[in-house]
Structure 1
Amino acid sequence: MSDPDTHDLSPIVTVLMAVACGAMVANLYYAQTLIEIIGPDIGLSPAAAGGIVTLIQLGYGLGLAFIVPLSDLIENKRLILIATAGAALGCIGIAMAEGPRTFLVAASIMGICSVGAQILVPLAAKLSSQARQGRTIGLVMSGLLTGIMLARPIASFVAGALGWRALFFCSAGVTALVGLALLLMLPVRRPESTLRYAALLASSFELLRRYPALRLRAAYQALLFIAFNLFWTVAPLVLTQRFGLGANGVALFALAGAGGALAAPIAGYFADKGRARATTLFALSLLTVSFVAADLVVAASALIAFAVTAVLIDAAVQLNQISGQRIIFALDSSAGGRINAAYMTIVFVFGASGSLIGSASFAAGGWSLSSLIGAAIGGVALLLYLLFDRRSTRSAEPRPAD
């Protein structure tokens, strides 16, 4: 394997990894806007249909905990290709399902295998030169966030035109094409670890215990992901009830929100210059202020300004994510997969509560209460930063490369 300090990924391979991340993670979100259509078609009651998204997300969580650490044990390209193939087959199974059992099994497989995206991220960091590592992570992660943000509007448009089954057939085809491109272009990386699988899993918890910076970065991003999910759970309700938008209008709003992904390469640039901590402080502050602004602009019925706050909230999440990953991947170059598994499992498990918090707060007090909670979440993250970050993370921050 080439030395990452003297070689770098080509731009086309970096872009491919970003596209692959986006394509895989989008699979997790297609069903969210289509539950009311899918449920009756496969024989699920309205109450049980809500379990579709839960099962997909649970599968993804299992993949984070039990598959991503394998990237420190198994040749990475092979593992990614297996995961990509599994995700494509899961999508085909979903599209062909005639009953709930087949659908749910296929959805679980698709969710588990979509963690290939979280194997690509540390691989990109490992294969990148030290001087450009932050920017590489930023570009790859911008693909991932773009996939999340585009999944819902794409699902609405495609399912509306061709049906929900066509959507998953299309996703299977896109995932398969991405897999073929990865087969042809992705570099090989053989990890040096000799740990057995059980010891490998146990070492993820040991890494959390050993590195305060990892715990803090996971806490920051978990809080921001809670706020992110809260916003995008409640925003469609605000758009329909306050602004009178239909399904297509909500989809276009989500497309505008995807502009926040442009912040990822910027965060990577500043992280490469040794300013990851400053970027983190800015991101946490930006999220807090953006939620306060979102409350004001909704009260003023300013739709365009509301879209701007959506972009800023997404940008804050991206800025914090990239600066944090630049720091944690520098903690132990031989344990990137386990570090990312520990980090993302915490982020995902706690972040998933954002949808529940958003729904409950909107029902109890409308958008004002939801936005207040979002701002408070940002405030808690800021407090953690001010109290603990300097002494636990300062020494872990990568120095700017020459």
Structure 2
Amino acid sequence: MSVATHKPELTNITLWVMTLTTGLVVANLYYNQPLLNDMATTFYVSNGKVGQVSMLTQIGYAVGMLFVVPMADMVKRKRLMLIDFAFIVAALLLTAMAPNVYMLILSGFLLGAASIIPQLLVPMAAHLAKPDERGNKIGFIMSGLLIGILLSRTLSGFVGAHFGWRAMFYIAAAIMLLMWALIYFLLPEVEPDYKGTYRSLMKSLVRLVKDEPKLRLASLRGALCFACFSAFWTTLVFMLKQNFNQGSDVAGAFGLAGAFGAIAAGLMGRLSDKMDAFKLSTFTLSLLLISFVIFLFSAHSIAGLIIGVIVMDMGVQATHISNQAIIFSLDASARNRINTIYMVSYFVGGALGTFMASRIWDTYQWTGVCAIGIILSAIALIIHLITRKTMQHSI
């Protein structure tokens, strides 16, 4: 059951606060990727073992989204975010002080589980935006999120190379304290729509999966795309060390190239308000497939890798925005739960991509990673094409 409530306007200040918070919080999930080599050296473990830090961070994010994000439909969202920031800061400090790789893996899981604030803010923006501006506003916040994802690698790579990998997580904890203050003073409160119990709320997730074919298909597309994305970024630092003898700072610098793709993806958010989402997704999924073909032939070419990163990020992020425009047009009273289903699928896909790439790296190295990307992106494109009628059916 839901009730009608007055909702505040999505002002420019509110939109910018949401975008900045989204980018800086989501960065917590990716600081570790350029630092994996340094972490492995610190604890004298293999690349495959330290890859579990990245994988468990993504699994933790999926767990947090599954059990915490749906609560935003039944409790005050701003209050939920302010409480969550305390857990984020605690997890960052635990990571910075980890005495061994097992504590590092545990803290990665906890950091992922706590860093779910972006998944409260994106549905909140969709809720507050006017229907004819929804894709544009989501695209704007997603540009902040995607730039946060990519530049987090650049920042952590630089900090890790000059101050050690632990310093990055102390800095991140300080940033989160500043973001707590920003949310407290500048973000409006949004009253919940859902009036049932937490148990019935969680049961409704199953009903939504059963009743919404567009949600199922968008979730599957998203999972496959993010599996490709995570496979690349998890193993890039290993490949750069092996083929170019470069460290975390160079691996992180590739985030700058990816940021161009993220900006382009934000522009595609505007297109999603004006053109057929199916045709747009066909194009963006094709970009993802092409990027891994580029990577396959660029194992010894920095220029080729940069081109591939730009193409890959355009494909992954624009498909993500297209998927969100589709799912947020479904049940308005269940947007947080719908986003939960989609994003849990998304990050489970990412964790599986990280797991496969970390395992395959030890045997087949870069060629194996590229093969994973080509196969999974081809599957995503095929599924997309054979479900044309379902995705284009108007409801």
Q: Quick one: distance in 1 between partners of 2:366 and 2:56?
A: 28
Q: Quick one: distance in 2 between partners of 1:111 and 1:375?
A: 27
Corresponding residue for 2:266? 265
Q: Quick one: distance in 2 between partners of 1:324 and 1:215?
A: 11
The answer to whether the 8 A contact 2:143-2:262 is kept is yes
The answer to whether the 8 A contact 1:284-1:316 is kept is yes
The answer to whether the 8 A contact 1:216-1:389 is kept is no
Corresponding residue for 2:351? 352
- For 1:12, the aligned partner's letter is I
Does 2:136 correspond to 1:135?
Answer: yes
- 1:382-402 Cα shifts (integer Å, max 9, x gaps): 211121132344315xxxxxx
Summarize the Cα distance change of 1:11–1:234 in structure 2 as closer, same or farther, 3 Å threshold: same
The answer to whether the 8 A contact 2:205-2:338 is kept is yes
- For 1:157, the aligned partner's letter is F
Summarize the Cα distance change of 1:382–1:53 in structure 2 as closer, same or farther, 3 Å threshold: closer
Does 2:160 correspond to 1:156?
Answer: no
Unaligned 5+ segments in structure 1 are 397-402
Q: Quick one: distance in 1 between partners of 2:347 and 2:107?
A: 21
Q: Quick one: distance in 2 between partners of 1:308 and 1:118?
A: 30
Q: Secondary structure at the match of 1:193?
A: coil
Q: Secondary structure at the match of 1:340?
A: helix
Structure 1 residue 9: deviation in Å? 1.8
Corresponding residue for 2:87? 86
Unaligned 5+ segments in structure 2 are none
The answer to whether the 8 A contact 2:59-2:347 is kept is no
Corresponding residue for 1:332? 331
Summarize the Cα distance change of 1:109–1:246 in structure 2 as closer, same or farther, 3 Å threshold: closer
- 1:7-64 Cα shifts (integer Å, max 9, x gaps): 85222322221221121121122233435655787xx663675554444333322211
- For 1:195, the aligned partner's letter is G
| Greater mean deviation of Cα atoms: 382-391 or 307-316 | 382-391
Summarize the Cα distance change of 1:130–1:8 in structure 2 as closer, same or farther, 3 Å threshold: farther
If asked which structure has higher relative contact order (CA below 8 Å, sep 6+), I would say 2
The answer to whether the 8 A contact 1:8-1:129 is kept is no
- For 2:159, the aligned partner's letter is V
Does 2:193 correspond to 1:206?
Answer: no
Q: Quick one: distance in 2 between partners of 1:211 and 1:241?
A: 46
The answer to whether the 8 A contact 1:191-1:334 is kept is no
Q: Secondary structure at the match of 2:325?
A: helix
Structure 1 residue 274: deviation in Å? 4.2
| Greater mean deviation of Cα atoms: 366-375 or 327-336 | 366-375
- TM-score if structure 1 supplies the norm length? 0.88
Q: Quick one: distance in 1 between partners of 2:27 and 2:217?
A: 27
- TM-score if structure 2 supplies the norm length? 0.89
The answer to whether the 8 A contact 2:95-2:108 is kept is yes
Q: Secondary structure at the match of 1:190?
A: coil
Corresponding residue for 2:316? 317
Q: Quick one: distance in 2 between partners of 1:344 and 1:216?
A: 13
Structure 1 residue 97: deviation in Å? 5.2
Summarize the Cα distance change of 1:188–1:288 in structure 2 as closer, same or farther, 3 Å threshold: same
Q: Quick one: distance in 2 between partners of 1:61 and 1:46?
A: 26
- For 1:315, the aligned partner's letter is M
Q: 1:63-102, aligned counterparts within 5 Å?
A: 63-96=64-97
Summarize the Cα distance change of 1:56–1:284 in structure 2 as closer, same or farther, 3 Å threshold: closer
The answer to whether the 8 A contact 1:36-1:46 is kept is no
Does 2:288 correspond to 1:308?
Answer: no
Structure 1 residue 271: deviation in Å? 1.3
Q: Quick one: distance in 2 between partners of 1:293 and 1:93?
A: 39
Corresponding residue for 2:369? 370
Q: 1:52-63, aligned counterparts within 5 Å?
A: 52-63=53-64
| Greater mean deviation of Cα atoms: 190-199 or 209-218 | 190-199
Summarize the Cα distance change of 1:358–1:51 in structure 2 as closer, same or farther, 3 Å threshold: closer
Q: Quick one: distance in 2 between partners of 1:361 and 1:52?
A: 17
The answer to whether the 8 A contact 2:284-2:315 is kept is yes
Q: 1:243-282, aligned counterparts within 5 Å?
A: 243-282=244-283
- For 1:306, the aligned partner's letter is L
